[in-house]
Amino acid sequence: MPSEKYTLTLPLPTGVTPADAIAALHSPLDVISLSPFAMQSDEIPSADPEVVLYNVRDKVTVLPFGLWDTSIEVPLEFRNFDKGVRIVKTVPPIGLTILEEWTVDEEKVTLEAGLIANWVVMMGAGGMMRGKHGVYVDSLGKLLQERVGAK
């Protein structure tokens, strides 16, 4: 099955420590809030104590200019580790799996993203998801700056 991988980085904003960034990434609700498309999120039970599961309802624009919008339910799996979080998103209606690994070091946050889907879906989803991930990275920077300003 075709796949695509790419990496995006965010320099830690002034005053933000690696611990601040890791704390935000370890909060599923903070990570979900990075998406301007997330309309609703509900935690669901997980049999694995190391995994936190959420169902997120995302807004999807079918026709431009608000002529036709709908929503889809996307299951998310969060697995924290010392320096960040691994997230698996499955978009059932189109058969797309998104793998994200967010890591933090002394200077930056790195998002390594991978997409897995058939070639038809990859033709449309590849560029679109890279753009969405760019929005998520920018939103994380804003979230971290707001938190530093609130200290």
Residue 151 lies in a domain: no
Residue 21 lies in a domain: yes
For the segment 122-128, the average pLDDT, to the nearest whole number, is 77
What pLDDT, in 10s, does the model give residues 66-110?
A: 778 788 899 999 999 999 999 999 988 788 999 999 999 999 999
The encoded tokens of residue 143 equal: 């979230």
Is the pLDDT score of 124 beyond 80? no
Check which CATH number belongs to the domain holding 119 and give it.
3.30.530.20
What's the domain range around 60? 3-146
Containing H/E element for 38? strand 38-44
Number of domains in the chain: 1
Q: Is 17 helix (H, G, I), strand (E, B) or coil?
A: coil
Residue 38 lies in a domain: yes
What pLDDT, in 10s, does the model give residues 11-63?
A: 999 999 999 999 999 999 999 999 988 999 999 999 999 999 999 998 877 67
Matching residue, tokens 């049999």: 47
Judged on CB neighbours under 10 Å (0-12, 13-18, 19+), 143 is buried
Residue 8 lies in a domain: yes
The encoded tokens of residue 57 equal: 């309802």
One-letter amino acid of 85: V
